[in-house]
Structure 1
Amino acid sequence: MPQPEPRFLNRQNPTPAGPSRRGLLAGASGLIALAGLAACASPQATDADRANLAGPPQTPDEVLQVLRAGNQRYADGMPERPNQATERRSEQAEHQNPFALIHGCVDSRVTPELLFDQGIGDLFVTRTAGGVLDDTLVGSMEFAVSSPYSVPLLVILGHTACGAVAGTLKAMEEDAKNPQLPGEMVDFAEQIAPVARKAKVEGSGSEEVDQVVQANARAVTEQLLERSAIIREAVQEKRTRVVAAVYDLDSGEVRWLDG
């Protein structure tokens, strides 16, 4: 590789030029400015980062507390964005130690890592339209509660104005007993429709949708415990907990349905 040409005062007197006083001052100012820019660009250490140095939360109550606090920061517009630095990415490339699994809808506005203000390696996430279950999803959740991960908390997260729920309710207007949606979308309609029939819904439009969303989050929680002996055993032994919640698209707040 060619070496950079030395800087000379002039080509007639090829003596390397030494740094001038003005150059030194300019260089020092530049370094200070660069340091300031780096400080602005680099994520600062947060309480969440420091807490994670001692390890993630270990019990369902501790995890719930972390998620509640993170969501409050997000809803207040003051997220800390912990565990998102390049160092964290490199560290997590070797292993992961998530402390919760969030199962929610595929809706693009509902991103668990953002709305709970968590970072790389903090959460397992599974998503389907309407948050419905199938065998692969249940198996993924069993993976999360099993060794070596053994996450202490599973969150079934619905959200307001859910399109899958709204689509199912509209299809039920045309055929209440056998709602139809195109292609494989009929699968989530077949799971949401019984919940909608059972729910004691008051109102219509968005109110109806949001009430069914809440009922569906509770129903999926119950279905998960019925379908999975592995998760049911973990709950019975108090190694994990399954809770239902609903995220409000407008406020950014998560409302916990189980206290």
Structure 2
Amino acid sequence: MSPIPPIDRRQLIQYGGAFLGTSLMATVLGNQIVSNPKVQAQTINQTPQELLNQLMEGNGRFSEQRRLKANQDFNRLTEVAQGQNPFAAILSCADSRVPPEIIFDQGLGDLFICRIAGNVATPQEVGSLEFGTLVLGAKVLMVLGHQGCGAVKAAMDGGELPGQIGSVIKKIDIGSVTDDNSNAASVTMATKANVEHQMAVLKQSSVLSELMAEEKLTIVGAYYNLGSGIVTLL
């Protein structure tokens, strides 16, 4: 019998669960990724819903100015240097006013974050989030939009944009919103519509959809209020 040829990682991600179950895929993809049993044990028996609650409780602490700032000391630094097992993944806007670790009161190694203007699910972002969930074990995947998003306003405005900015803006979907972007309520509606659209894009991933079917992952949308610091699930 001839030896089995090595499996190309890019092909695995491309074809997802069509040929391999997520457990085997995670093993193959993660065979060179160091997990930290101590860190993993903190969440391994928790459900996606329980971990989502944990994430939202952190935002409650932040918005009420009672942050614990857990997992931010030198001991945590050395602990996660041995391997990572984030409990949640976040597709967030690159806006400097929306730092996920801070607004969810989390620390080193807790969150796997992809940040891009307009929190758009490009192929690269989807691939990264597949890795963060399938291989690293994040059980919550949140698409996080926010108040006054400049990228959403640009999508509402239309027109040509310089450089590669337009390549990002064209991936934003504002739904049926047509009002001028100076209308705050319309911008909010467009932002939430875009979050829903990006969630739909993520759910087209065979990797993510299989994790959801196995109840190993939940995908949620959320909206962050810049003034209050409150994250609301959509």
Greater RCO, CA 8 A, separation 6+: 2
Question: 1:25 corresponds to which residue?
Answer: none
The answer to whether structure 1 residue 217 and structure 2 residue 195 are counterparts is yes
Q: Offset of 1:54 from its aligned partner?
A: 6.0
CA shift in 2, pair 1:53/1:100, >3 Å? closer
| Cα distance per residue 1:117-173 (max 9 Å; x no partner) | 0000100000110011211111101101213x22111000000000111122222xx
**Cα distance in 2, alignment partners of residues 53 and 187 from structure 1:** 37
Secondary structure of 1:183's aligned partner: coil
The answer to whether structure 1 residue 62 and structure 2 residue 50 are counterparts is yes
Counterpart mapping for 1:61-100 below 5 A: 61-100=49-88
Equivalent residue for 1:190, pick from 149, 170, 173: 170
Q: CA RMSD in A?
A: 1.9
Which has more radius of gyration? 1
**Cα distance in 1, alignment partners of residues 224 and 41 from structure 2:** 29
**Cα distance in 2, alignment partners of residues 87 and 139 from structure 1:** 31
**Cα distance in 1, alignment partners of residues 40 and 162 from structure 2:** 48
Unaligned ranges ≥5, structure 2: 1-38
Counterpart mapping for 1:112-131 below 5 A: 112-131=100-119
The answer to whether structure 1 residue 163 and structure 2 residue 150 are counterparts is yes
Unaligned ranges ≥5, structure 1: 1-51, 172-178
**Cα distance in 2, alignment partners of residues 202 and 167 from structure 1:** 11
**Cα distance in 2, alignment partners of residues 145 and 54 from structure 1:** 16
Question: 2:206 corresponds to which residue?
Answer: 229
Confirm or deny: 8 A CA contact 2:101 2:107 kept in the other structure. yes
CA shift in 2, pair 1:83/1:197, >3 Å? closer
**One-letter amino acid of the structure 1 residue matched with residue 67 of structure 2:** P
Confirm or deny: 8 A CA contact 1:101 1:124 kept in the other structure. yes
**Cα distance in 1, alignment partners of residues 86 and 111 from structure 2:** 5
Question: 2:218 corresponds to which residue?
Answer: 241
| Cα distance per residue 1:14-57 (max 9 Å; x no partner) | xxxxxxxxxxxxxxxxxxxxxxxxxxxxxxxxxxxxxx796136
> Normalising to structure 1: TM-score of the pair?
0.71
Q: Offset of 1:187 from its aligned partner?
A: 1.4
Q: Offset of 1:181 from its aligned partner?
A: 1.4
| Cα distance per residue 1:75-128 (max 9 Å; x no partner) | 001111000111110111111111000111000010000000000010000011
Secondary structure of 2:67's aligned partner: coil
Q: Offset of 1:197 from its aligned partner?
A: 4.7
Equivalent residue for 1:106, pick from 89, 94, 100: 94
Number of residue pairs matched?
195
Confirm or deny: 8 A CA contact 1:201 1:212 kept in the other structure. no
